[in-house]
Amino acid sequence: MNEKTNFLAVLNKIGDGIEKGINFFACISLVIVAVSVIIQVLCRHINIPVVWLGELSVFGVIWTVFFGLAIGYKHGMLAQVDLICHLLPKSTHKVLSLIWDVTGLALMLIILISSRHYIFHIWNRKIFSPELRWPLYLVYMGPVLGYIFTSYFTVVNILTKLMPAGKTPEAGAGDTGPSLSNAEGGL
């Protein structure tokens, strides 16, 4: 069982590194959104429209939202259906949470597999954004990366839930400690 514990500890350490990178890029894209919207409003006020700033802010929002999805999932901050938990006994909450995670992972994998065709299509056709003339596949890589990171955190969460009680990545030999997965709550 200690090998599983070490494996989960490594996965969580990798997840922490991914989270730091996501936070860095999400902050940059959020600053881009804020600055571009402020400049666009100020320029419009003095009657100098800068159309490409609107497109830049949309691209920043796209990346911020999907990176935020990954971070939100990792920390268990996504909206969940509490009504079901209140109607069912507490003994079913862990199973429902596991079903929720597996279903979410399956949906994300379906989206990732189907999006690959679209990404390759816009790459091969060399489709660019209208104002900035950026390759659109770069813009759509934000959601793809967000789903990849969220899928990773979902797999780690599922593996953490499947570990026997008391065997968590933080726990030493025979020691019991809290799980590193913060998304372990019920539905």
In the structure, what pLDDT confidence band is assigned to residue 36 with cuts at 50, 70 and 90? very high
Position 4 scores a pLDDT of 65
> Please, which pLDDT band fits residue 142 given cuts at 50, 70 and 90?
very high
Does 117 have pLDDT greater than 70? yes
**Per-residue confidence (pLDDT) for residue 21, from 0 to 100:** 96
- Count each helix (H run) and each strand (E run) in the chain, helices first: 5, 0
Percent of the chain residues topping a pLDDT of 90: 61
Model's pTM, two decimal places?
Answer: 0.79
- What confidence score (pLDDT) does residue 104 get? 92
Give CA angle at 32 (28, 34), nearest 5°.
Answer: 115
pLDDT band at 166 (very low <50, low <70, confident <90, very high): low
CB-count burial class (<10 Å; 0-12, 13-18, 19+) for 96:
middle
CA 105, CA 111: separation in Å to the nearest integer?
10
Identify the CA nearest to 93 among candidates 83, 78, 79, 105.
Answer: 83
| Average per-residue pLDDT for the chain | 84
Whole-number percent of the chain with pLDDT over 70: 82
Residue for token digits 């069912």? Answer: 88
Specify the higher pLDDT residue, 2 or 90.
90
**Looking at residue 81, what is its pLDDT?**
64
